Structure 1
Amino acid sequence: MGLSNIKVGTKLISGFLLVCLVGIVIGIMAIVDLKKLDDEAEKLYAKDLLGLSFVKEANIDLIYVSRDWRNALISPDQEKKQKYIRLAREYMAKVRDNLNKGGALFYTEKGRKLLSDLNARLDEWNASTEKLLAMVPKEDPSALSEEFRSVHKTQSDQNDAVDNMLTELTRFKEENAAKSSQATTELYERNRIIIISLIVGGLIFGVTVGILLTRSLTRPLSRAVEVANTIAHGDLSSKIDVSGTDETAQLLIAMQKMQQSLQGIVSEIREIVEAAAIRGDFGVKMNLSGKEGYMKDLSELLNRLSDVTDTGLRDVTRVAQALAAGDLSRKIDKDYPGVFGQTKDGVNGTVDAIRGIVDDIQFVALSAGQGDFSVRMDMQNRQGYTKTLAELLNQLSDVTEEGLKDVMR
């Protein structure tokens, strides 16, 4: 089904809904992508950066343990020795605690393996460190016993091993953090391109929908304006092509019907005029069937004009035929306005004038029949043929009267 078969309101609403739908899709995709970015950022912080922080804290605590047992070894009195030993044990506990906190944030197989190895090494380090701390109060820093030196050597090796493993864990976490950061950046770049593409695509789609809707409305409307201007200039021959069933198509259909109605009116008027002007037939009338409004009014007025013309001419013809037959009793009795009223007055005046002449002639003839040839026709107010006829009759009376007088004399 083409756009021309969809109503204008439906077109506009559909176009608006389509543009809204595109906007909703873009918004949903943007929200989903933002959620992915948020997840990656949370992963970067919670599993990598936070885990890295715990490992570094454990490494610092490891340094503090070495510092405090050495401080305990060189302290001059037992009270300070015990204080530093206690601090060393606290930092030992912190090393374990930080690694336990960070352990849950190692999510790769390699990370868990490194952490497992570190915990095993840390147990050995704890044991040797505790043994070392137990010997510190009894040792003279200026003359260390061989046993202490041996324990210290073992503890130092294990401390270096733990430190190296913490360094490796730190490097591993930093690499993971860098990878997560890179993944987040790539996800951002990819989603930015997708969202920009969707926005551009949505704009192109919206513009395309707008152009299609505009063309589906303006083309038939422009055609309707063109047809209306053509009809306004009196040209009823233009062809109106209609396609579709929307409001613009209905407008063109209405204009098509109007054009056909006007063509019918013009055709009927032409038929009436040709019948009257060429054949002298004023009996042809406009058909009122199916006509309404101005067309009905126009048809009724034309029929009334035809009726008045036909009736008036018939009355004139009737009186003229009566005059031709010598009947002076016929006159036009019906009232007519305007020119037909003047025609009525002229015809009736002619009848009255002829009737007056006939009466005068009859009077003159009757007088002559009684032997009186002195009667003459009154010349007052006579003009044209009535004056000429009166003068001729008076001359005839004069000649007749003079001749008879001569005979009698």
Structure 2
Amino acid sequence: MKIANMKIGQRLAIGFGIVIILLVAITALSNVQLGNLNSSINLITKDRYPKTVLANTIQIQVNKIAIDIRDIMLTSDADKIKYLVNDATAADKKMNEGLAQMQSIAKTEDDKRFVKDAMTARDAYLPVRDGLMKLALAGQIDEAKAYLPQQFMPLQIKYFIALDAMFDYQGGLMDAAGDKASSESGSARMIINTLAGITLLLSAAVAWLVSRSITRPLTEAVDVARRVADGDLTTKVEVKSTDETGQLMSALQTMNGNLYNIVSQVRQGTDTIATASSEIATGNMDLSARTEQQAGSLEETASAMEELTSTVRQNADNARQANQLAVSASSVAVDGGTVVGKVVETMSSINDSSKKIVDIIGVIDGIAFQTNILALNAAVEAARAGEQGRGFAVVASEVRSLAQRSAAAAKEIKILIDDSVAKVDTGSKLVEQAGTTMTEVVASVKRVTDIVGEISAASQEQSQGIEEVGRAITNIDETTQQNAALVEQSAAAAQSLQDQAAKLMQLVSVFKLDQKMTKTAATAGTSTAIAKKATVNITPKAPELKQAPKSASTPALTSSSKLAPTAAGRDDDWEQF
């Protein structure tokens, strides 16, 4: 696959991939070298250096013991000798601990051999040294001085030689490890610097190749876009690759071709626009006249609706008053029905009371009858008594006379009461009939009230509906007036459209086309000029309120076969409106 046909993302991925691979290689090699260096450093810090320090510590303690023995030989003070012996004993303890630690960390055969030699020399050295210190503690300094060069010094020298050999061996190992670490560090630095240089060169080469493969086509695309921006549509755009820049060049090629076609069609259509704008202006004049006529009709309709609204409103007011009167009559009828009901109840109570009076009169009549019988019996008994009962007979006669008169009066009262009860019954029946009639009257008045209320509500709704119709007609009238103003604006816009068509022709002439299109543009310019000369004055005048001629609203569009049917259709719509 050619580089030019690769996607920009693929190129960048390959370039960055190479750089990343090199960086990974540098990182891996650096880690390996650093690992080696770390191993060397660990060997020095954890093995070589501790052993060297231990060997040095052992030497220091042995030297300290030798110094203490020397000082013992030079003094005769028992306390000082005792102090020096104790100090030498402490140093001996540290020396033995150091040798034991050295023996425990010795790993190689050489380490073990040097430690063994030192411990062998120490084992021969210690008994002689201890004997010397015993002589000093016993105060036998002269014997100790004689013992020192003969037996102690040779063994001490051998011990020193063994310790020096062990120290020199450990120091040599540490120096060798340091040299190795330094060598590894230098080689790692050289390898890393070499790979870094190679990476830098390869990265620069990849960056140059990738940027060159991107910027060169982009430069060509910018040149093409600049020529198109200058109006030169004759540029031949060549597509040399299939990547994003190639797609950009292909898009510029398509854009250039589309602009070429658009400008060609615009040049061909400007004369049609000019002619159509002239015919639109003529149609707008006719539409303006019809709109004014329609506005006049709407004004008359609005006036009639106002009169109808006033009449309906008056009817609604009358219905409302009738409803109020019916409600008042219904209330009065209800009150009358209530009064009649109370009268019926009162008559019923009177009838009951009259019946009770009749019963009472019957009782009185019975009492008078019994009194009369008793008086008669008393008179008979008085007659039997003779002269002694004459006075009693007179009284009995008077009582009988009173009883007879009471009975007669009771009969007359009973007759009158019976007549009253009969009349009360008749009155109660009449009052009940009056109550029934009043109930029917109340129900009828309620029905009349409901009907009048419905009539009032219907009249109110009718009044509101007619008011809404009136407002709608008023809105339609306002809309019609606005439409008339819009028609005038449309006429002015048609004139502006004609002017813009001429300006558009001038703007389109900036683009460079081939010779054929230049001739077409010249023809279009001529047509535009003719259309401008044939344009009528489209400033609308105040039209008269009469039917506009139908032929004026259907102008023949000579330059556009699609506009004529549209104008005719709009004319039919206005006729229906």
Q: TM-score, normalised on structure 1?
A: 0.57
Identity across the alignment (%): 18
Alpha-carbon distance change, 337 to 121 in structure 1, aligned in 2, over 3 angstroms: closer
User: Is 1:301 the counterpart of 2:269 in the alignment?
Assistant: yes
**Equivalent AA in structure 2 for residue 205 of structure 1:** L
Question: Structure 1: how far apart are the matches of 2:116 and 2:258?
Answer: 99
SS in 1 for 2:242: coil
Alpha-carbon distance change, 105 to 207 in structure 1, aligned in 2, over 3 angstroms: farther
User: Is 1:40 the counterpart of 2:231 in the alignment?
Assistant: no
1:18-29 map, 5 Å: 19=19, 22-23=22-23, 26-27=26-27, 29=29
Partner of 1:136: 136
The superposition leaves residues 128-169 of structure 1 with CA deviations (integer Å, 9 ceiling, x where unpaired) of 322333343346333569xx73x8634322211110111112
Deviation at 1:39, TM superposition (A): 3.8
**Equivalent AA in structure 1 for residue 200 of structure 2:** L
User: Is 1:84 the counterpart of 2:275 in the alignment?
Assistant: no
- Conservation of the 8 A alpha-carbon contact between 1:242 and 1:253: no
Partner of 2:152: 155
- Conservation of the 8 A alpha-carbon contact between 1:230 and 1:236: no
Q: Which protein has the bigger helix share?
A: 2
The superposition leaves residues 25-56 of structure 1 with CA deviations (integer Å, 9 ceiling, x where unpaired) of 54565455445434433432443333222212
Q: TM-score, normalised on structure 2?
A: 0.42
Question: Structure 1: how far apart are the matches of 2:269 and 2:108?
Answer: 101
Question: Structure 2: how far apart are the matches of 1:88 and 1:81?
Answer: 10
Alpha-carbon distance change, 105 to 215 in structure 1, aligned in 2, over 3 angstroms: farther
The superposition leaves residues 162-199 of structure 1 with CA deviations (integer Å, 9 ceiling, x where unpaired) of 10111112222222222122112111111111221232
Aligned length: 285
Deviation at 1:218, TM superposition (A): 0.7
**Equivalent AA in structure 1 for residue 157 of structure 2:** D
**Equivalent AA in structure 2 for residue 142 of structure 1:** D
Partner of 1:124: 124
Deviation at 1:248, TM superposition (A): 0.9
**Equivalent AA in structure 2 for residue 241 of structure 1:** V
Alpha-carbon distance change, 26 to 253 in structure 1, aligned in 2, over 3 angstroms: same
Alpha-carbon distance change, 96 to 304 in structure 1, aligned in 2, over 3 angstroms: same
Q: 2:240 aligns with which of 229, 239, 242?
A: 242
**Equivalent AA in structure 2 for residue 84 of structure 1:** L
Question: Structure 2: how far apart are the matches of 1:239 and 1:155?
Answer: 108
Deviation at 1:229, TM superposition (A): 5.2
Partner of 1:383: none
Deviation at 1:62, TM superposition (A): 1.2
Question: Structure 2: how far apart are the matches of 1:192 and 1:143?
Answer: 66
Deviation at 1:7, TM superposition (A): 4.1
User: Is 1:172 the counterpart of 2:169 in the alignment?
Assistant: yes
User: Is 1:197 the counterpart of 2:194 in the alignment?
Assistant: yes
Question: Structure 2: how far apart are the matches of 1:124 and 1:11?
Answer: 81
1:201-220 map, 5 Å: 201-220=198-217
- Conservation of the 8 A alpha-carbon contact between 1:48 and 1:105: no
Question: Structure 1: how far apart are the matches of 2:4 and 2:532?
Answer: 59
Deviation at 1:223, TM superposition (A): 2.4
Partner of 2:58: 58
**Equivalent AA in structure 2 for residue 186 of structure 1:** S
Higher relative contact order (CA 8 A, sep 6+): 2
Partner of 2:381: none
Alpha-carbon distance change, 237 to 295 in structure 1, aligned in 2, over 3 angstroms: closer
Deviation at 1:240, TM superposition (A): 0.6
The superposition leaves residues 82-141 of structure 1 with CA deviations (integer Å, 9 ceiling, x where unpaired) of 332222222222222223334455554323321122122222222332233334334633
The superposition leaves residues 300-351 of structure 1 with CA deviations (integer Å, 9 ceiling, x where unpaired) of 617949x99xxxxxxxxxxxxxxxxxxxxxxxxxxx974378799xxxxxxx
Structure 1: runs of 5 or more not aligned? 266-293, 309-335, 345-409
Alpha-carbon distance change, 304 to 97 in structure 1, aligned in 2, over 3 angstroms: same
**Equivalent AA in structure 1 for residue 530 of structure 2:** V
User: Is 1:115 the counterpart of 2:110 in the alignment?
Assistant: no
SS in 1 for 2:126: helix
Partner of 1:101: 101
User: Is 1:253 the counterpart of 2:250 in the alignment?
Assistant: yes
Alpha-carbon distance change, 130 to 142 in structure 1, aligned in 2, over 3 angstroms: closer
User: Is 1:339 the counterpart of 2:530 in the alignment?
Assistant: yes
**Equivalent AA in structure 2 for residue 181 of structure 1:** G
Question: Structure 2: how far apart are the matches of 1:262 and 1:142?
Answer: 127
- Conservation of the 8 A alpha-carbon contact between 1:132 and 1:152: no
**Equivalent AA in structure 1 for residue 242 of structure 2:** G
SS in 2 for 1:142: helix
Structure 2: runs of 5 or more not aligned? 277-526, 536-577
**Equivalent AA in structure 2 for residue 163 of structure 1:** F
